[in-house]
Amino acid sequence: MTKIIVDGKEVDVPAEYTLLQACEEAGAEIPRFCFHERLSIAGNCRMCLVELKGAPKPVASCAWSVKDCRPGPNGEPPVVVTKSPTVKKARNGVMEFLLINHPLDCPICDQGGECDLQDQAMAFGVDSSRYAENKRAVEDKYIGPLVRTSMNRCIHCTRCVRFTAEVAGTADMGAIGRGEDMEITTYLETAMSSELQGNVADLCPVGALLPKPYAFKARPWELGKTESIDVMDALGSAIRVDIRGREVMRILPRVNESVNEEWISDKTRQIVDGLKNQRLDRPYIRKDGRLQPASWGDAFAAIAARVKATTPARIGALAGDLASVEDMFALKVLMDNLGAKSIDCRQDGTKLHPSLGRASYLFNPTIAGIEEADAILIVGSNPRKESPVLNARIRKRWRMGGVQIALVGERTDLTYDYQYLGAGAETLAELASGKGFADVLAKAQRPMVIVGQGALMRADGLSILATAAKLARPAADWNGLAVMHTAAARVGGLDLGLVPGEGGLDARAMTRPGALDVLFNLGADEIDIAPGAFVVYQGTHGDRGAHRADVILPGATYTEKSGLYVNTEGRVQYADRANFAPGEAREDWAILRALSDVLGAKLPFDSLSALRKALYAAHPHFGRVDAIEAGALSFGAQNADLQPGAFTNAVQDFYLTNPIARASAVMAECSALAKGRLQQAAE
Amino acid sequence: MSVRRLAEEQPASFEFTPENMVWVKAQIAKYPEGRQASAVIPLLWQAQKQNQYWLPKPAIEKVAELLDMPYIRVLEIATFYTMFNLEPVGRYFIQMCGTTPCMLRGSDEIKAVLQRRVGEQRKVSADGNFAWLEVECLGACCNAPMVQINDDYYEDLTPENFEKLLDDLAAGRPVSIGSQTGRRSSEPAGKLTTLVSLYGEDGLSGPASAKTTA
């Protein structure tokens, strides 16, 4: 630790801190544009100038470290001044230069109201311009369907360039030309290829890069802001849902160091139009082969008639990937009340089972723990598509150095180097016998084995899981077995025990022809249901599930209900309601509650708080929001008979993994672009 | 300086010649494993030389592939350095020095010749032989005015000898590089004025001209 005096206040900071960090430690506010905590230091905007005693000129505090400061003549700590007239004048000057070529178009700029340049010009700038010459004009660039450019406004902080090169790992953007002619662009205006590209619009301190789908839609001050949790993948990124009236206008990331830092994937951010398109806003009943609008009462009556005509053994329930814990709990209680044993939350057919212990289906090392791992083996997963933000964390670990990464499965560009071991179970069997990379894992202090659903969906999924667990060497202080989920609801569902009871059927069996008479489908759209059963689809979008339905009960999306979600590492997170479901659609737990009354299997709760009370009583860990309940791992004598065959990744098209994303035109465009890139690469 | 963009018309492909490929490999080998990107400027330079002194898009991409760099990183460098020509520059690319010493010694007349014979700056002449550009000091001030044509300097120019030089180049006749008035390197135009007690038997410097009586 090193002592330093900032504005007369002595602080003790680590020697490797920059002056900017030291000043913040001392409570001094330093304006900045190019500096960003999670990116490398560029030092090119000069806005963070401070006065350093002994230095001939003001110094850029973001690029000057505490250990570079000289002590005073008698060994006094170095002195930094942030409030002197020199500093004020320096900031004035820098701001004047930055504004020389910046257009005065704040009234028509989407960044207006939440613009760093606007705010800092107010706080540190001068009130008038002395610049009478022509302003520089820069052509706007096409950089993809998600980010709109207005390059006249660019102040060349290069945050976007550093983000794509460092965090996203795709090196899409760059600065061409030099001096006044410097321009930020992608290579010959191709679309960015990263799944995290939307973040560059957040990083841009001015209005040069803006979210394209949100262009000219709203002003920041007219938006209602709600803290929520993303359900597009199993990471559970912290998000903020901005609404105007009943409409979701945009989704932005929140900082959660242990989950998403401050990034979110493009799917998380830009499915906003998917929340409005193809919505189910009233109940439907299939009559004469066609779905026809109906009232809630008629829909419930139709269901009741079918349920009463059958036996509990011929009733089943499926829970989808976007369901909240409350929804699934209500479904489970309803099924219990009806006496039905066939219930499953694993529509993709994964072999994970709660009976093996909670640690058998969690990302045990935790997301933040990736940064501590020193050997990583990825089995049957493409983290870049299954959870781009988690992949960015692996890349962050790789950039720190001292880690070996290997992959068994489909060969692909993960944005970092890895050793490719092989395509499937044969390679895993070889590793299990101690060959090759197994040696690296065995020597590692903190080995980590990431197992994707692609490997666990196979018939020998449990053997693969057991083999992975063996390689990960779970110990008391570090469990390296990391199960990578793709569905936001999955861990919650497994925690609740949404798996078939004794004699019950699993998801695959339930959807076979003639397996059931009545099937409750709570938003499971990724599975084909054979003809025969009477399907009650409770969901939000006119997607695959709705097409197969006999009765549709319109539910609420994740922004329209308050709910708990458990992410892939087992972290319970709370998402608040931002807006209301359209039309006659209702929150899902309430639909199930109302339905249960008609079915004569009344659920014992009349409000969401009563439901939660019952939920916490049955599963106390759901009450501990933002905590990870430690899990046990109780593999019995799992047979480790691996069947040969290559692994196929669970997520093939990143942009279209769920009904909300499939309803989004923006996601469809992204998906088409990604397919084109893939084709181009193949040629 | 102005905004620099890649040329409208681009060749379909670019490959280093076998000799250049050997040279390229030697350049890359200078740097440690994982640091091949350090060789980007020499490679671009060689690509430009091989391709009639301009860099087409396929060459930029080829260099990126050879060095395992993203395309945009190489484009950044190619657009940053103005000595990389992004558009065709004819068989002979003339860079005319217009900085003070050359201007004082008559670069304006050289410029007039270029304007008359070749035309506008940055435009290839109709016969495809020449393109020219006024540049800042090329560091041969003692033999001002001067131009650089492709890799070589041509100094002590006058409108007359410069026109002849252009004629010779266009006709493919041999030309001498360096001073066009026969002056040796940058020695005084007349005869030696310093160290005359040691050298200058024949008005020139150097061991060959050393005075034996000294």
- The per-residue pLDDT for range A314-329, each reduced to its tens digit, is 999 999 999 999 999 9
| Chain A CB within 8 Å of residue B65 CB | no
* β partners of residue A483: A451
Task: Write the single-letter amino acid at A291.
Answer: L
**Mean pLDDT score, A327-338:** 96
Evaluate whether A648 touches A532 at the Cβ level (below 8 Å): no
- Output the CA torsion sign for A165, A167, A172, A178: negative
Query: How confident is the model at residue B171, as a pLDDT?
Result: 94
Q: Cα dist. A427→A26, A135, A433, A439, A645 in Å?
A: 55, 61, 10, 14, 10
Evaluate whether A451 touches A465 at the Cβ level (below 8 Å): yes
Contact between A187 and B4 using a beta-carbon 8 Å cutoff:
no
Contact between B79 and A171 using a beta-carbon 8 Å cutoff:
no
Task: Decide if pLDDT at B214 tops 50.
Answer: no
Pairing of strands A238-244, A224-229: antiparallel
CA atoms within 13 A on the CB side of A407: 24
**Mean pLDDT score, A43-69:** 93
Contact between A177 and B79 using a beta-carbon 8 Å cutoff:
yes
Torsion, Cα of A340, A342, A344, A349 (10° steps): 180
Query: How confident is the model at residue A129, as a pLDDT?
Result: 85
Strand order in the sheet with A247-253: A224-229, A238-244, A247-253
| Chain A CB within 8 Å of residue B57 CB | yes
Task: Decide if pLDDT at A295 tops 90.
Answer: yes
- Residue of chain B with shortest Cα separation from A178: B80
Contact between B3 and A187 using a beta-carbon 8 Å cutoff:
no
Pairing of strands A534-539, A79-81: unpaired
A472-491 pLDDT, tens digit per residue, is 988 888 999 999 999 999 99
∠ CA A159-B81-B137, nearest 5°, is: 135
| Chain A CB within 8 Å of residue B33 CB | no
Give how far B121 is from chain A: nearest CA, Å: 19
What are the phi and psi torsion angles at A356 (to 5°)? -85, 5
Residues of chain B with C-beta less than 8 angstroms from the C-beta of A174: 70, 72-73, 75-76
CB nearest A178 (choices: B73, B75, B80) = B80
Q: Cα dist. A463→A467, A642, A651 in Å?
A: 6, 6, 21
Domain ranges for chain B, please list them.
Answer: 18-80, 92-179, 188-214
- Residue of chain A with shortest Cα separation from B82: A177
A573-605 pLDDT, tens digit per residue, is 999 999 999 999 999 999 999 999 999 999 999
Query: How confident is the model at residue B213, as a pLDDT?
Result: 57
**Which are the contacts of A435, defined by CB distance < 8 A and separation ≥ 6?**
none
Residue indicated by tokens 């935790």: A366
Name the burial class of residue B73, with classes exposed (0-12), middle (13-18) and buried (19+) by CB atoms within 10 angstroms of its CB: middle
What are the phi and psi torsion angles at A329 (to 5°)? -65, -45
Contact between B72 and A172 using a beta-carbon 8 Å cutoff:
yes
> B18-80: which CATH topology?
Arc Repressor Mutant, subunit A (1.10.10)
**Worst-scoring range by mean pLDDT, A290-294, B55-59, B183-187?**
B183-187
**Which are the contacts of A659, defined by CB distance < 8 A and separation ≥ 6?**
A322, A523, A525, A539, A540, A541, A543, A544, A545
Of A566, A560, A542, A564, the residue nearest A552 (C-alpha): A542
CB nearest A174 (choices: B1, B3, B72) = B72
pLDDT category, A637, cuts 50, 70, 90? Answer: low
Of A560, A11, A32, the residue nearest A247 (C-alpha): A560
Give how far B133 is from chain A: nearest CA, Å: 18
- Give CA–CA dist B28/B31, Å, rounded: 6
Classify A483 as helix, strand or coil.
Answer: strand
Query: How confident is the model at residue B78, as a pLDDT?
Result: 96
State the Rg of chain A over Cα.
Answer: 28
Which DSSP letter does residue A306 get?
Answer: H
Element (H, E) at A666: helix A665-682
Say what the pTM is.
0.93
Total residues belonging to chain B: 214
Evaluate whether A423 touches A646 at the Cβ level (below 8 Å): yes
Name the burial class of residue A444, with classes exposed (0-12), middle (13-18) and buried (19+) by CB atoms within 10 angstroms of its CB: buried
Task: Decide if pLDDT at B194 tops 90.
Answer: no
Query: How confident is the model at residue A475, as a pLDDT?
Result: 85
Classify A433 as helix, strand or coil.
Answer: coil
Task: Decide if pLDDT at B67 tops 70.
Answer: yes
Element (H, E) at A17: none
Contact between A171 and B70 using a beta-carbon 8 Å cutoff:
yes
Give how far B198 is from chain A: nearest CA, Å: 50
Evaluate whether A281 touches A264 at the Cβ level (below 8 Å): no
Query: How confident is the model at residue B202, as a pLDDT?
Result: 76
Contact between B75 and A174 using a beta-carbon 8 Å cutoff:
yes
What are the phi and psi torsion angles at B130 (to 5°)? -130, 150
Name the burial class of residue B1, with classes exposed (0-12), middle (13-18) and buried (19+) by CB atoms within 10 angstroms of its CB: exposed
pLDDT category, A638, cuts 50, 70, 90? Answer: low
Of A197, A175, A166, A184, the residue nearest A674 (C-alpha): A197
Element (H, E) at B148: strand B147-149
Query: How confident is the model at residue A231, as a pLDDT?
Result: 96
Query: How confident is the model at residue B207, as a pLDDT?
Result: 75
Q: Cα dist. A672→A214, A384, A453, A543, A654 in Å?
A: 20, 18, 24, 19, 11
Q: Which CATH number fits domain B92-179: 3.90.1820.10, 3.40.30.10, 3.40.50.2030, 3.40.800.10?
A: 3.40.30.10
Element (H, E) at A660: helix A659-662
Q: Beta-carbon neighbour count of residue A646 at 10 Å?
A: 15
Give how far A186 is from chain B: nearest CA, Å: 7
Residues of chain A with C-beta less than 8 angstroms from the C-beta of B3: 177, 181, 183
Query: How confident is the model at residue A498, as a pLDDT?
Result: 95
* β partners of residue A554: A539
- Residue of chain A with shortest Cα separation from B79: A177
Asked if the domains B18-80 and B92-179 are classified in one and the same CATH topology, the answer is no
Helices A425-432 and A461-472: angle between axes, nearest 10 degrees: 40
- Residue of chain B with shortest Cα separation from A137: B3
| Chain A CB within 8 Å of residue B72 CB | yes
Evaluate whether A79 touches A51 at the Cβ level (below 8 Å): no
Contact between B2 and A181 using a beta-carbon 8 Å cutoff:
yes
Contact between A177 and B80 using a beta-carbon 8 Å cutoff:
yes
